Amino acid sequence: MLYREAGDFNTSYPQDSQTFPIRFDRYRYYVVLAFAFLVVPFLINDYWANAILLPFLIYAIAAIGLNILTGYCGQVSLGTGGFMAVGAYACYKLMTAMPEVSMFVHVILAGGITALVGVLFGLPSLRIKGFYLAVATLAAQFFLVWLFNRVPWFYNYSASGQINAPERDTFGILITGPNAPAWATYLFCLIFLAASALIARNLTRGTMGRSWMAIRDMDIAAEIIGVNPLRAKLSAFAVSSFFVGISGALFFSVYLGAVEVGEAFGINKSFLVLFMVIIGGLGSIFGSFAGAAFLVLLPVALKVVGVDMMGWPTDIVAHFQLVIVGALIVLFLIVEPHGLAQLWRLAKEKLRLWPFPH
């Protein structure tokens, strides 16, 4: 009854091409947005922010970024951790060099710097394809982490080799540092996530997104029908790295506060984000959200069930987590290679026909 296009008449072209063409979907979207922006900030406390909400928001941005590159443009990247590190260190250098500027500017600039680095490491994709490219992006991962570890300029010659986020505010509200209120950090990340999702959604259904998908589906054929592979691939790398850089900057400055590059942005981070994209669904913005939520909640849920309810030692639960994540990924690929997003799509199709399926 609810989920129908019947009776929903479009009278102008903008209406015809809106993101959520079905009225119910549109209202649901507004309700979710309103809830996230207006209700959650009043309910939030430190535990919820740090254990669940902040990681979810930040990983969702990273997953959107990687999904653009891997899901939409078909270029598998294992360098996400390295690009997140670029965002984090760019943000750190900007924060310490220009303390009076708003955090918004810093984070966006950090994203821009990461986009440049992404384009640089994306250049080989013009010649290298498939698995060779996946391995080549590992070069970015290892080289960047090594660079931030070994060149003291990046961590301002601090003795520990770590970077620590100093206290910075935006519009007079503290965003980073240990004294920042949970609702402020939450809203800060949420604004970035909402903007990223909006931009990504509209990019992927426009000219640029279509050229990415053409390259993904068959690059030679795309080239023959007039898609410029240089522009398509490099723009995918740039946009993807921009989002990944923003998530890296937020991850360091808002969420962790102090970062040791090998720990926080190692190869495991690359895989984690890749898993989010796979489990959520390649080539779907909603999938990025679903995947991030799933992989952020899974360890928390396992810990609650294993340690708090069953009383098992934490290391056993940690090992089980590896086994379960691994098994789930394999299971997902077997049962639904298109991820959670595909389940969502199927559910919507069913709902449209309900209660009279053919």
Contact call for residue 353 and another protein (CB under 8 A):
no
Out of 21, 99, 166, 337, the only residue in the binding site for another protein (CB under 8 A) is: 337
Residue 80 or 253 having the CB closest to another protein: 80
Residue 62 or 136 having the CB closest to another protein: 136
Contact call for residue 309 and another protein (CB under 8 A):
no
Contact call for residue 136 and another protein (CB under 8 A):
yes
Contact call for residue 76 and another protein (CB under 8 A):
yes
Contact call for residue 327 and another protein (CB under 8 A):
yes
Contact call for residue 274 and another protein (CB under 8 A):
yes
160: Cβ contacts below 8 Å, ≥ 6 apart: none
Using left for φ > 0, alpha for ψ between -120 and 50, and beta otherwise, residue 164 falls in beta
Contact call for residue 221 and another protein (CB under 8 A):
yes
Span from 98-106, 109-117, 121-129, 158-166 in contact with another protein (CB under 8 A):
121-129
Residues 147-176 interacting with another protein (rule: CB under 8 A): 149-151
The distance of closest approach from Cβ of residue 80 to another protein in the complex, given in angstroms and rounded to an integer, is 13
Which residue, chain included where needed, has tokens 């941005």? 61
Residue 206 or 326 having the CB closest to another protein: 326
Using left for φ > 0, alpha for ψ between -120 and 50, and beta otherwise, residue 168 falls in beta
**82 burial via Cβ count (<10 Å: 0-12, 13-18, 19+):** buried
Question: How is residue 170 annotated by DSSP?
Answer: E
Contact call for residue 9 and another protein (CB under 8 A):
no
Count of residues engaged in binding another protein, rule: CB under 8 A: 49
Out of 305, 330, 346, 347, the only residue in the binding site for another protein (CB under 8 A) is: 330
Contact call for residue 305 and another protein (CB under 8 A):
no
168: helix, coil or strand? coil
Beta strands in the chain (DSSP E): 163-164, 169-170, 173-174, 258-259
The distance of closest approach from Cβ of residue 291 to another protein in the complex, given in angstroms and rounded to an integer, is 12
The distance of closest approach from Cβ of residue 335 to another protein in the complex, given in angstroms and rounded to an integer, is 9
Pair 55, 186: CB distance under 8 Å: no
Contact call for residue 342 and another protein (CB under 8 A):
no
Cα distance between the two ends of the chain = 15
Which residue, chain included where needed, has tokens 């993101």? 19
C-alpha 240/C-alpha 132 separation (Å) is: 19
Selection from 230, 192, 206, 191 nearest residue 72 by Cα: 206
Using left for φ > 0, alpha for ψ between -120 and 50, and beta otherwise, residue 76 falls in beta
Contacts to another protein by CB under 8 A = 76, 124, 127-132, 134-136, 138-139, 142-143, 145-146, 149-151, 218, 220-221, 224, 267, 271, 274-275, 278, 310, 312-313, 315-316, 319-330, 333-334, 337
